[in-house]
Amino acid sequence: MGVNWLKQAVSQSEQLHPYIPGKPIAQMLREQGFSESEIAKQQASTVKLASNENPYGAPPKALEAIKQIAGEICRYPDGDCFELKQALAAKHKIQTEQLLIGNGSNEVLELVIRSFSGVGDEVIYSQRGFIVYALATIAAGAKGIAVPEHDGFGHDLNAMLAAVTDITKVICIANPNNPTGSLLSTTELQSFLNKLPSHIVVILDEAYYEYVMGEVDDSIHALKHDGLIVSRTFSKAYGLAGCRVGYVVANPDLLAVVNRFREPFNVNSLAQAAALAALHDEVWVLDKVAQCKQERSRLEAALQGLGLLAAHSFANFVLLRHEAATTLAQNLEQQGVIVRPLAPYGMADILRVSVGSEAENDAFLAALHKVLS
Ligand SMILES: Cc1ncc(COP(=O)(O)O)c(C=O)c1O
């Protein structure tokens, strides 16, 4: 008889369920019975609006930088990300010691939770917060406290404060939040932080910051709390999701602890070069953010017209409410459009649809009209 590996693993493994990402186009086509040669042909006519990626591609300077450095990949990367840290420090007007860079912000979020919580500790997050917080908490052996939102969409900061106990070690807040698209103001966040003990680590996950730049203050300078960790990523507005680069800004003493848990070469050399170049292509980045926001308004107006808009989103996706949302998602897939059902977040009647390019959004709206008629 084979070994039951789940029983051999650490006890918390039983509660861990792998993260389900947005479905890749090739996987959807395989599920629909296409052969490998047909998949190659079909891919171009399929639209993936399930992972909040940048539909306009990667910044041209980043693509060029990857080509330039490709010959160097026989070497290990710079384990300290020296040049990228210098550029980020200059951009944010901070010291390099205030930065820790990861294999996507996801890695850093996990490292932070693992560094500051374990068996016997509690980590607080919103019930409909980014699912990785719950998974990282379980993996760390800590107990997750999922706090319901005040209206099903926005973080309830008062309820989160009420959930704080002597064993609370970390609080995670995404702003804007994925998957609900809600936004907290700088004032709301600072008044929350003022009421917290200073030893509690607060992860403010700003993966979608570029989409609200100008609408909220820059948290890196505006918010004050000893344990505050602001997290940003190159995966969304910067168009580098496949490279995996994200970073956090925090107190150097706190990051020195997190750094002990980091593997030595966690950010590969192509990713470092691409991220550095992307920082020099900010005109491109901001132009695409503006286009995305225009398209988001167009999609939200169309959904509103159909009586399907669930709530306004501040990020690069929109929220559609339909009583048979999961079936609707399957029907959209049959039309070649992949969206994200939010049933795993306890929102069985909501679909999250990433804002695509103009042509992709047209394809989505045409498919939606077709499956609803
Ligand atoms: C709120 C939030 N945080 C973090 C991430 C992780 O992003 P990455 O690991 O690509 O930086 C995502 C990705 O969708 C997200 O939505």
pLDDT digit of tens for each residue in the chain (373 aa)?
799 888 888 888 888 887 777 878 888 888 888 888 888 777 878 899 999 999 999 999 999 999 999 999 999 999 999 999 999 999 999 999 999 999 999 999 999 999 999 999 999 999 999 999 999 999 999 999 999 998 878 999 999 999 999 999 999 999 999 999 999 999 999 999 999 999 999 999 999 999 999 999 999 999 999 999 999 999 999 999 999 999 999 999 999 999 999 999 999 999 999 999 999 999 999 999 999 999 999 999 999 999 999 999 999 999 999 999 999 999 999 999 999 999 988 899 999 999 999 999 999 999 999 999 9
Q: Are residues 309 and 356 in the same domain?
A: yes
Q: Which atom of ligand 1 is nearest to the CA of 107?
A: 9
Q: Are residues 326 and 206 in the same domain?
A: no
Bridge-based pairing of strands 122-126 and 47-48 is unpaired
Phi–psi pair at 341, nearest 5 degrees:
-70, 140
3 falls within a domain: no
Q: Are residues 145 and 252 in the same domain?
A: yes
Which of 231, 258, 281 lies at the terminal end of a domain, its last residue? Answer: 281
- pTM given for the model: 0.95
Q: Are residues 75 and 14 in the same domain?
A: no
Q: Which atom of ligand 1 is nearest to the CA of 174?
A: 1
Range of the domain at 53: 9-57+283-372
Q: Are residues 14 and 163 in the same domain?
A: no
Q: Are residues 248 and 356 in the same domain?
A: no
Q: How many other CB atoms are found less than 10 A from the CB of residue 327? A: 12
Q: Which atom of ligand 1 is nearest to the CA of 235?
A: 10
Give, for ligand 1, the residue of 48, 100, 103, 105 to mutate: max count of ligand atoms closer than 8 Å to Cβ: 105
CA of residue 41 to ligand 1 center, whole Å: 30
CA of residue 242 to ligand 1 center, whole Å: 12
Q: Are residues 90 and 212 in the same domain?
A: yes
3-state secondary structure of 168: strand
| Longest pairwise C-alpha distance within the chain | 61
CA of residue 3 to ligand 1 center, whole Å: 35
In this prediction, residue 10 carries a pLDDT of 86
296 falls within a domain: yes
Q: Which atom of ligand 1 is nearest to the CA of 103?
A: 9
Any residues with Cβ below 6 Å from ligand 1, and which?
A: 52, 104-106, 130, 174, 178, 205, 207, 233, 235, 241, 246
